[in-house]
Amino acid sequence: MILHNKIEKEILKKRLHEEPFRRVTLSFYKFIEIADPQQFRDELFIRFTEMQVFGRIYVAAEGINAQISVPEHHLEVFEGYIQNHPYIKGVLLNHAVEDDGKSFYMLKIQVKFKILSDGLINSEFDIYNVGKHLDASTYNEKLNEPNTVVIDLRNHYEHEVGHFEAAILPDVDTYKDSIPVIVEMLEERKPDNIMLYCTGGIRCEKFSAYLRHKGFENVFQLKGGVINYAHQVRQKGLESKFTGKNFVFDERMGERVTEHIIARCHQCGAPADTHVNCANNACHMLFIQCENCASKYERCCSEDCMQVNALPEEVQRVLRKGKVHANAHHKSKIKDFQPE
């Protein structure tokens, strides 16, 4: 059995949109020692392929980080497999807030050095000595306590479209970049309570353990991240202290938590919070674009890119040859939607 995809992207996308069944978008993570990441990766690929699971999964000696979509008719079997597996039983399966089932079009499982690019050395601290997990209601209450700081562990392009009230929003490109900045700030402010949040919880999990190692005692994290928070807000009728949209790392690029639009189009300045990638594949820049500018610039980030994108594909390929991908060096760009 071939343990990786060999079919072209456009064919896979076409097949996805022709599927006669619904899919459910899920995410989960777990820090746990995995003896043989490659063997575990191959096992997952075989079992998930049997269940027609799509998505992006990272496996490493330190654990697993997964964003996936599962056919609705396979969901019960999938959940049974997860909850009975020695490595991943007990994980919180985060269900997407806004889900059209088109979040992924193939299965990609990679063995990595780490499941999270954080720059931290696991052997230097106890990565399992994490902060206290809070549900949405308790998190809301804790936000009102005196000398409490709320820290967004996501990148600038994520919190630009949505964030918690009064949260500290580090202007960073990656999670790894944010760690020394936040630690220095906390050492200066010395808050009584440190409240962390991120998309699905994984960044808080590692960072809360690191903060405890650095001597901070009252460290709290939002269980299941903003994704789980949004579900609890809707199910329990709670007030949402998170405003706007939650950026997600799949084809959707966002889940609406509240109707507030707090960002602006990067081209005209009109209220907008839809992230897109420039249609010029030589650029592929991630940016916020309103509907008017999407029409005006034909889904491109500039007139120059619009002109390039109008050229025949074979000419575009020649122009792209040997060029550094735009996402490798621009602050507002990410590559292949990979969370850092």
Catalytic residue positions, numbered: 198
Give the pLDDT score at 319: 77
Which of 111, 145, 164 is the last residue in one of the domains? 111
* CATH for 70: 3.30.70.100
The domain of 211 spans: 122-244
Please indicate, yes or no, whether residues 86 and 166 belong to a single structural domain of this protein.
no
The reply to whether 252 falls in a domain is no
The reply to whether 333 falls in a domain is no
Helix (H) / strand (E) containing 207: helix 202-213
* CATH for 239: 3.40.250.10
305: left (phi over 0), alpha (psi -120 to 50) or beta: alpha
Question: What is the C-alpha end-to-end distance of the chain, expressed in Å?
Answer: 31
d(CA 25, CA 94): 8
Please indicate, yes or no, whether residues 129 and 161 belong to a single structural domain of this protein.
yes
Beta-carbon contacts of 250 under 8 Å, excluding residues fewer than 6 positions away, are 25, 55, 56, 67, 103, 104, 337
What does each of the 340 residues of the chain score in pLDDT, given as a tens digit? 567 787 888 999 999 999 999 999 999 999 999 999 999 999 999 999 999 999 999 999 999 999 999 999 999 999 999 999 999 999 999 999 988 889 999 999 999 999 999 999 999 999 999 999 999 999 999 999 999 999 999 999 999 999 999 999 999 989 999 999 999 999 999 999 999 999 999 999 999 999 999 999 999 999 999 999 999 999 999 999 999 999 998 989 999 999 999 999 999 999 999 999 999 988 999 999 999 999 999 999 999 999 999 988 888 887 777 665 544 434 443 333 334 4
Please indicate, yes or no, whether residues 96 and 145 belong to a single structural domain of this protein.
no
The reply to whether 259 falls in a domain is no
Most distant pair of Cα atoms in the chain: their distance: 61
Please indicate, yes or no, whether residues 91 and 162 belong to a single structural domain of this protein.
no
Give the pLDDT score at 159: 96
Give the pLDDT score at 324: 54
Among 243, 228, 231, which Cα is nearest to 165's?
243
DSSP state letter for 130: P
Give the pLDDT score at 219: 98
d(CA 243, CA 246): 9
Please indicate, yes or no, whether residues 107 and 127 belong to a single structural domain of this protein.
no
For residue 110, which amino acid is it?
Answer: Q
Please indicate, yes or no, whether residues 223 and 288 belong to a single structural domain of this protein.
no
Lay out the sheet containing 63-71: strands in order across: 94-95, 23-31, 63-71, 54-60, 107-111
Please indicate, yes or no, whether residues 102 and 133 belong to a single structural domain of this protein.
no
Pair type for strands 255-256 and 242-246: antiparallel
Please indicate, yes or no, whether residues 127 and 185 belong to a single structural domain of this protein.
yes
Half-sphere exposure of 318 (CA within 13 A, CB side): 5
Give the pLDDT score at 323: 61
Cα–Cα distances (Å) from 59 to 3, 113, 159, 206, in that order, read 15, 8, 27, 16
Please indicate, yes or no, whether residues 230 and 288 belong to a single structural domain of this protein.
no
Give the pLDDT score at 312: 87
Among 306, 199, 284, 248, which Cα is nearest to 98's?
248
Give the pLDDT score at 1: 59
The reply to whether 230 falls in a domain is yes
The reply to whether 335 falls in a domain is no
The reply to whether 266 falls in a domain is no
Give the pLDDT score at 336: 36
Among 160, 146, 142, which Cα is nearest to 196's?
142
Please indicate, yes or no, whether residues 141 and 232 belong to a single structural domain of this protein.
yes
The reply to whether 221 falls in a domain is yes
Which of 76, 111, 146 is the last residue in one of the domains? 111
Please indicate, yes or no, whether residues 128 and 197 belong to a single structural domain of this protein.
yes
The reply to whether 250 falls in a domain is no
Q: Considering its fold, how many domains does the chain have in total?
A: 3
Please indicate, yes or no, whether residues 30 and 70 belong to a single structural domain of this protein.
yes
